[in-house]
Amino acid sequence: MFQRNAAIALLIFLGSFAVYRANDGYLCTNDSAPNSLLFFNAVENRTFAFDAFAKGYLYDSGGGYIFTTAPNGHLEPIYPIGAALLASPIYLAEYLAERSHGPFPSITDPAFDATRFADEKLAAGILAALAAAVFFLCALRYAPLTPAVVATFAFAFGTEMWSIGSQALWQHGPVALVTLVMMAALLSLDDRPKGFRALALAGLAAGFLFTIRPTAAAFSIAGFAFAAERTGRKSWVFVLAALAGAAPGLWWNLAIFHTLLGGYTSVLSAYAFTFAQAAGSVPGLLVSPNRGLLVFSALVVLSAVGAFRALRARDSRSRLLIYSSAACALTFANYVFFLNWNAGATFGPRYLTELMPTAGLLLTYALPKRIDFSSSRLRAAWAIAAILIGASAFVQFVGVNGDPKTNWSEVPTDISFDKNRVWQWHDGQIWRDALATYRLWAANPTFTAGYANGFNGEIEKIAHDGDSISENETLAVFSGSKLALSVTMKNTGSSPWYGYTSGFGLGQTRLRVRYLDSAQRTILDRDLFLPGAAGNGGRTEAAGDVDVPAQPGDYTAVFDIDVAGNARIGSRHVGARSIRIRVVGEPGGSS
């Protein structure tokens, strides 16, 4: 039996890893950059400080928020180091493999981003696949083989573990893995009368949860409650091991930041414990079309059924899921009162990934214990489960394949600043990503030989804050501000334009904005995005906020109509127009 289960767990790891790696593109963001750079920075620059990244490409791409100046005067990431430590063996292997092919590239060079994204996705995929394998071993403690395998499939491919945990090195995937290791160790107490080693492993994992993400300590408390209930006075082993697991995080926080929460102290002000905050975030996190848990992982309906049955169960193992469900409730409440509960640039409810180990294991109480279609009740139960799990897996599938191309959370406006987009039904995230996924296999009309020849257009009007700007005037703006632009364009060619709602990645029509200095060097290059499609003679408008150069001076802002990837139209600048910009004042001003 042990050999069979181990073999299946290995197959689950390999299969999950293969699926997690199969999609093209990266969902990595600036949030996960410190986790993907910490090991390389320590080895190459021989320091844990990130001073070498001050005002580098991460800052230029809007990632300055991930760093802060610590009391020691060095630039440090605001995020905990647990995820980076957990992934460090993988990064060591990646580093040695890359060094075997020659000198390691400079990690502060913008060109390193491609390597960083690839290494990060690989590390995240390995950790997420390990989580799926450990989940299966936990599920076997609650159910026979068939429902355990179904629950594992649901966890691995029907939740944010696929679109979030396996694609980038946010803290959420590592939290899920370490939570499952803790639960597996606690569940193994059934096999070990004394259980000292199991308690030590569970405690070590529980403490390390704090090192990964302090808010995950809710699951550590749930683990301790179960350990104390099962082992009584022997739970001191759990406590001592937990202190050892938390030690790296505590050392980092106290040594670098002189506080228990480390860089996370800076986000304490990002909470609002008000009814108005909860009134917006609770429905947004649960049922909104672009961030709702029940929309992106409908299978949690079955988890709710499983929680009800676990409460009625009399077996001791159900107590662990009850305590873990309470931890899920606390974690959910934490994000309810967090101002940025929509999680910024992401696919679906990213923060709730941490709830998925418990939600997945609760399925073992909701699913029938066997496949038996002789009973109409069992047929109905399996049919409902198949629909909910299948729908959840489909949503995750279109997310991992479509979102790297659509970047829905930031196009046309950044959801961090436009929170109403979570309720946007037209051009919703799932729909646009489903279109982009379809485009992976459907013929792309912009790839045809004649498309480039027929691509043409003109820019009719450029406006700032609603006021039209002529090429003869100079627009004065503050350094560090943004231009609120709206640009009207007309398609004068025979080839249609395809905007961001079309699902195209390559081949999408965009309005390019380039800032040139007095030497005609490009200082900044940004895009504005077109909605919908426009055929011959059709008009459309690109609107949005565009960064201005940080350094004061006189610039020329050049506008032209472009195609994403630039492969269809070559180096032509279609419909080029320009305006003069004078940047004045101090960084951080407003226009």
Alpha-carbon distance of 245 to 241, in angstroms, equals: 6
Three-state DSSP at 542 gives strand
Tokens 């804050």 correspond to what residue?
Answer: 465
* Residue 190: closest CA among 142, 241, 131, 135: 142
Contact (CB, 8 A) for 579 and 513: no
Q: Give Cα separations from 558 to 103, 469, 501, 521, 525 (angstroms).
A: 39, 13, 25, 12, 10
**Torsion region of 588: left, alpha or beta (phi above 0 gives left; psi -120 to 50 gives alpha):** left
Residue 269 CA from chain centroid, whole number? 22
Residue 423 CA neighbour count, 13 Å, CB half:
8
Contact (CB, 8 A) for 320 and 268: no
Residue 27 CA from chain centroid, whole number? 6
Rounded to a whole number of angstroms, the CA Rg of the chain reads: 26
Length of the chain: 591
Three-state DSSP at 336 gives helix
Alpha-carbon distance of 388 to 100, in angstroms, equals: 47
Apex 420 CA angle, 418 and 423, nearest 5: 140
Contact (CB, 8 A) for 351 and 337: no
Contact (CB, 8 A) for 200 and 239: no
* Residue 58: closest CA among 122, 96, 112: 112
**Torsion region of 543: left, alpha or beta (phi above 0 gives left; psi -120 to 50 gives alpha):** beta
The tokens describing 108, both together, are 């502060």
User: Taking the domains of the chain in order of start, what are their residue ranges?
Assistant: 271-442, 450-584
Residue 312 CA neighbour count, 13 Å, CB half:
7
The tokens describing 40, both together, are 């390389």
- At residue 244, what is the residue type? A
Contact (CB, 8 A) for 339 and 272: yes
pLDDT in tens, 367-420: 998 777 777 888 889 999 999 999 999 999 999 999 988 889 988 888 988 889
| Residue 497: strand pairing partners | 534
DSSP 64-120: GGGEEE-TTSSEEESS-SHHHHHHHHHHHHHHHHHHTTSSPPPTTSGGGHHHHHHHH
Please report, in angstroms and rounded to a whole number, the separation of the first and last CA atoms in the chain: 69
Contact (CB, 8 A) for 305 and 370: no
Neighbours of 171 (CB within 10 A): 26
Neighbours of 530 (CB within 10 A): 26
Apex 505 CA angle, 502 and 509, nearest 5: 65
- At residue 386, what is the residue type? A
Which residues have C-beta within 8 Å of that of residue 193, sequence separation ≥ 6?
none
Cβ-defined contacts of 376-379 (< 8 Å, 24+): none
pLDDT in tens, 493-539: 999 999 999 888 888 899 999 999 988 898 888 889 999 889 999 99
- At residue 153, what is the residue type? F
Alpha-carbon distance of 251 to 208, in angstroms, equals: 12
Has domain 450-584 been given CATH number 3.40.190.10?
no
Q: Give Cα separations from 327 to 53, 160, 180, 352 (angstroms).
A: 37, 18, 14, 12
Tokens 């364009």 correspond to what residue?
Answer: 489
Apex 250 CA angle, 81 and 89, nearest 5: 35
* pLDDT tens-place values along the chain, 591 residues long: 788 999 999 999 999 999 999 998 888 888 898 999 999 999 998 998 898 888 777 766 666 788 888 998 898 999 999 999 999 999 999 999 988 888 888 888 888 888 899 999 999 999 999 999 999 999 999 999 999 999 999 999 999 999 999 999 999 999 999 999 999 999 999 877 668 999 999 999 999 999 999 999 999 999 999 999 999 889 999 999 999 999 999 999 999 999 988 888 877 788 999 999 999 999 999 999 999 999 999 999 999 999 999 999 878 899 999 999 999 999 999 999 999 999 988 999 999 999 999 999 999 999 998 777 777 888 889 999 999 999 999 999 999 999 988 889 988 888 988 889 999 999 999 999 999 999 888 888 888 878 888 889 999 999 988 888 888 888 888 887 888 899 999 999 999 999 999 888 888 899 999 999 988 898 888 889 999 889 999 999 998 888 888 889 999 999 999 888 655 566 567 888 999 999 987 654 433
Three-state DSSP at 304 gives helix
The tokens describing 496, both together, are 């249609």
Q: Which phi and psi (to 5°) does residue 279 adopt?
A: -65, -30
Alpha-carbon distance of 441 to 296, in angstroms, equals: 23
Residue 199 CA from chain centroid, whole number? 32
- At residue 350, what is the residue type? R
